[in-house]
Amino acid sequence: MKNELHVVGIQADLIWENPAENLKFFEDKIKNLSASTDLVILPEMFTTGFTMQPKNVAESMNGLSITWMKKIANEYDIAITGSLVIEDGNQFYNRLVFIQPSGKIDVYDKRHSFTLAGEHKVYSSGTDRIIIDFKGWKICPLICYDLRFPVWARNTENYDILIYMANWPVTRIKAWRTLLKARAIENMSYTIGVNRTGLDANNYQYSGSSLIVDYLGETLSNLDENEVGIISAVLKKDHQNKVRNKLGFLKDKDSFTINK
């Protein structure tokens, strides 16, 4: 088990439906990261932007972007995660992929489709939440609109890190910041939100505001609005466990089941 985990989130102005150029941008950022980096988090639909035209860009699990993620994980000895458009079994998914240096792959299909944009009409929703074990840390990865549904994120597994990757528009950015801190506080978990910047092909504006907060809701790293760059922090498991044990809030949580 590794007590300290160095995490990085990359905030980008995504190029619309252009995987090759987006992958080039992210690789240029990754190759300049500290050698101590353990985990790199990319935004939602990091290869294309939040497109509702999956037929134009969908890849398989053996496609260009997954192959690139495997290469990056191996070459730089890091775990890398982001969501992208995947076609699987004649259905399209907004799929989060988490690849470890060993080549181990975990996937999570976005549970809560963003109906305001019609995501539910073109993408199939997932039914299962996952907990990833990486270097002794338990990680719960979720996607964008999932942030608005606290029951789905409830820390029933005693996870250590909660991740949200997003294309969250500037018009509702206050909710983004507020809900990320709320999820961190209620789950007593390090929480990381990685958003995009820029203007997409549908004229939706994104301001980024990516951030890392600790288990008490204190900001560890953040980016100014519209800035392209990285957030970075060293997370300390013993500190988190000490506070959890002292306060005991998770021991008093409610028991419940979720209908899939």
* Residue positions annotated with a catalytic role: 44, 110, 144
Q: Minimal CA–CA distance to 178: which of 223, 147, 151?
A: 147
Dihedral sign for Cα atoms in the order 190, 249, 145, 175: negative
Question: Quick check: helix, strand or coil at residue 225?
Answer: coil
Q: Minimal CA–CA distance to 114: which of 58, 187, 172?
A: 172
**Residues found in the chain:** 260
Residue 109 CA to residue 129 CA, distance in Å, equals: 8
Element of type H or E holding 248 = none
Tokens 């975990």 locate to: 106
Q: Minimal CA–CA distance to 142: which of 202, 98, 173?
A: 98
Q: Minimal CA–CA distance to 98: which of 111, 113, 83, 85?
A: 83
The DSSP code sequence of 167-221 is --BGGGHHHHHHHHHHHHHHHTSEEEEE--EEE-TT--EEE---EEE-TTS-EEE
